[in-house]
């Protein structure tokens, strides 16, 4: 989010001295001039800016996490609703099949009693003089009739068991969907509250600190990019030694076979170019529309779709349905995941940088990868 360069708070005089002394801007190529602010005042201003920048970063991270959690919950609810409809259709089919089997068994019983059964030997039991004990004859007849329908009886039992299982699954899915809907309603409130807090903090920073906070955040972004570039060189420099984990970062990665790493392809470059083309497009939850809006997984899904590869519009599903890559073998185009459980994904573009859709109120951007926070890397194409 961009901040207006206005300074209207009582800190104005302190910040003028602070900015003139170029403590936030690095001082390269800028001449120092006299400042009315004391060293203590400048230090206080610097601490204030740093504190607000820390708060903004923490608030943005929390909003991003909550927003993706909400998107995942909504997608899970949608899948549950699809499963419920599918189960209802399956139950209807089983009920139709059950009715057919029951009718078949009824026909068999009638045939056995009235027509003498398939063997033609039953009708004689009902004929006059069939035996001295009519009750015994009828019991025998009943047993024969049941035996005639034995195979269908087994089929009937199986159908009834299947229907019971399906009904149980349907009830569980409906209960889960209701619980999830209630949770989504609450999560929407929680997420919106955090978004409101973030916007209020941004507005406060603009009013009180103006250019100072923008300069500090730019300085931090540049420092993060430089650190990420060094980390990327160090991490990828370990290729071929059997180190690195298929799950991303970690201080003690498990050994693996380098030959098992899925090969990269030209499709990765296409996905990277697509993602870069959307830098500056607004973050919109649940969306994946070129030039209009994206959430984080919507951006990565769209970028790879341009390369001819279809992946789910959900960060955890993307991780679970694409080939895992040891972090030492990360290449441009790979998807890079954060938090546990996963609630954010970006597309790696090389040099320690990624393109991602960060969260509400912001836009698709270039961002430095904090490799210590990476929980996984995968390769769709």
Looking at the structure, do residues 117 and 156 belong to the same domain, yes or no? yes
Reply yes or no on whether the pLDDT at 18 is more than 50. Answer: no
- Give the model's pLDDT for residue 48: 85
**Cβ–Cβ < 8 Å for 315, 337:** yes
Looking at the structure, do residues 95 and 173 belong to the same domain, yes or no? yes
Least confident of 7-16, 234-243, 363-372: 7-16
Looking at the structure, do residues 250 and 220 belong to the same domain, yes or no? no
Average pLDDT over residues 263-274: 94
- Tens-place pLDDT, residues 38-70: 556 767 778 888 888 898 888 888 888 888 888
Looking at the structure, do residues 220 and 290 belong to the same domain, yes or no? no
- Give the model's pLDDT for residue 262: 86
Question: For residue 367, is it within any domain?
Answer: yes
- Give the model's pLDDT for residue 113: 56
Looking at the structure, do residues 319 and 182 belong to the same domain, yes or no? no
Q: Which residue has the higher pLDDT, 254 or 344?
A: 344
**pTM (two decimals):** 0.65
Q: Which domain holds residue 20?
A: 1-236
Question: For residue 259, is it within any domain?
Answer: no
Question: For residue 74, is it within any domain?
Answer: yes
Which domain CATH number covers 327? 3.90.1720.10
Which domain CATH number covers 229? 1.10.287
3-state secondary structure the chain: CCCCCCCCCCCHHHHHHHHHCCCCCCCCCCCCCCCCCCHHHHHHHHHHHHHHHHHHHHHHHHHHHHHHHHHHHHHHHHHHHHHHHHHHHHHHHHHHHHHHHHHHHHHHHHHHHHCCCCCCCCHHHHCCCCCCCHHHHHHHHHHHHHHHCHHHHHHHHHHHHHHHHHHHHHHHHHHHHHHHHHHHHHHHHHHHHHHHHHHHHHHHHHHHHCHHHHHHHHHHHHHHHHHHHHHHHHHHCCCCCCCCECCECCCCCCCCCHHHCCCCCHHHHHHHHHHHCCCCCEECCCCEECCCEECHHHHHHHHHHHCCCCCCCCHHHHHHHCEECCHHHCCCCCEEEECCCCCEEEEEEECCEEEECCCCCCECEEEECCHHHEEEEEECC
Only one residue has tokens 């790696």, namely 348
How far apart are alpha carbons 74 and 280 in whole angstroms?
26
- Give the model's pLDDT for residue 110: 61
Looking at the structure, do residues 51 and 194 belong to the same domain, yes or no? yes
- Give the model's pLDDT for residue 43: 75
Looking at the structure, do residues 78 and 172 belong to the same domain, yes or no? yes
Average pLDDT over residues 271-278: 98
Looking at the structure, do residues 72 and 94 belong to the same domain, yes or no? yes
- Give the model's pLDDT for residue 342: 92
Question: For residue 315, is it within any domain?
Answer: yes
Reply yes or no on whether the pLDDT at 174 is more than 70. Answer: yes
How far apart are alpha carbons 158 and 153 in whole angstroms?
9
Average pLDDT over residues 257-263: 80
pLDDT tier, 107 (very low <50, low <70, confident <90, very high otherwise): low
- Give the model's pLDDT for residue 237: 87
- Give the model's pLDDT for residue 23: 35
Average pLDDT over residues 72-86: 90
Percent of the chain with pLDDT over 70: 70
Q: Within 13 Å, how many C-alpha atoms sit on residue 232's CB side? A: 20
Looking at the structure, do residues 158 and 48 belong to the same domain, yes or no? yes
Average pLDDT over residues 325-343: 94
Looking at the structure, do residues 41 and 110 belong to the same domain, yes or no? yes
Report the number of distinct structural domains present in the chain: 2
- Give the model's pLDDT for residue 104: 63
Looking at the structure, do residues 19 and 168 belong to the same domain, yes or no? yes
Q: Which residue has the higher pLDDT, 208 or 38?
A: 208
Looking at the structure, do residues 370 and 310 belong to the same domain, yes or no? yes
- Tens-place pLDDT, residues 284-329: 988 999 999 999 999 999 999 999 999 999 999 999 999 999 999 9
């Amino acid at each position: 989010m961009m901040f207006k360069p206005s300074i209207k708070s009582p800190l104005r005089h302190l910040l003028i001295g602070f900015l003139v002394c170029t403590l936030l801007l690095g001082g390269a190529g800028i001449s120092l001039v006299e400042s009315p602010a004391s060293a203590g005042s400048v230090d206080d201003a610097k601490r204030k800016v740093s504190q607000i920048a820390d708060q903004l970063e923490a608030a943005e991270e929390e909003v991003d996490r909550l927003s993706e959690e909400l998107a995942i919950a909504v997608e899970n609810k949608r899948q549950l609703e699809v499963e419920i409809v599918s189960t209802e259709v399956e139950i209807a089919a089983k009920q139709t099949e059950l009715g057919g089997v029951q009718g078949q068994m009824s026909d068999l019983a009638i045939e056995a009693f009235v027509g003498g059964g398939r063997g033609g030997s039953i009708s004689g039991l009902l004929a006059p003089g069939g035996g001295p004990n009519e009750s015994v004859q009828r019991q025998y007849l009943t047993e024969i009739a049941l035996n005639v329908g034995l195979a269908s009886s087994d089929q009937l039992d199986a159908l009834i068991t299947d229907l019971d299982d399906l009904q149980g699954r349907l009830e569980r899915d409906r209960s889960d969907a209701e619980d999830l809907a209630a949770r989504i309603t609450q999560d929407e409130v929680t997420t919106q509250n955090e978004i409101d807090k973030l916007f209020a903090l941004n507005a406060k920073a603009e009013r009180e600190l103006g250019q100072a906070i923008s300069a500090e955040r730019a300085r931090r972004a540049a420092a993060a990019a430089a650190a990420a570039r060094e980390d990327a060189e160090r991490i990828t420099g370990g290729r071929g030694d059997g180190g690195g984990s298929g799950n991303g970062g970690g201080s003690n990665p498990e050994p693996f076979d380098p030959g098992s790493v899925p090969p990269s392809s030209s499709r990765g470059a296409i996905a990277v170019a697509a993602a870069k083309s959307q830098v500056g497009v607004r973050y919109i939850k649940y969306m994946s529309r070129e030039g209009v809006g994206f959430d984080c997984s919507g951006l990565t899904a769209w970028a790879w779709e341009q390369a001819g590869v279809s992946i789910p519009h959900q960060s955890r599903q993307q991780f679970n349905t694409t080939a895992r890559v040891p972090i030492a073998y990360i290449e441009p185009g790979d998807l890079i995941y954060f938090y546990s459980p996963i609630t954010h994904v970006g597309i790696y573009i090389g040099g320690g940088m990624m393109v991602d859709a960060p969260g509400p109120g912001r836009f698709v951007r270039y961002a430095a990868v904090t490799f210590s926070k990476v929980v996984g890397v995968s390769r769709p194409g």
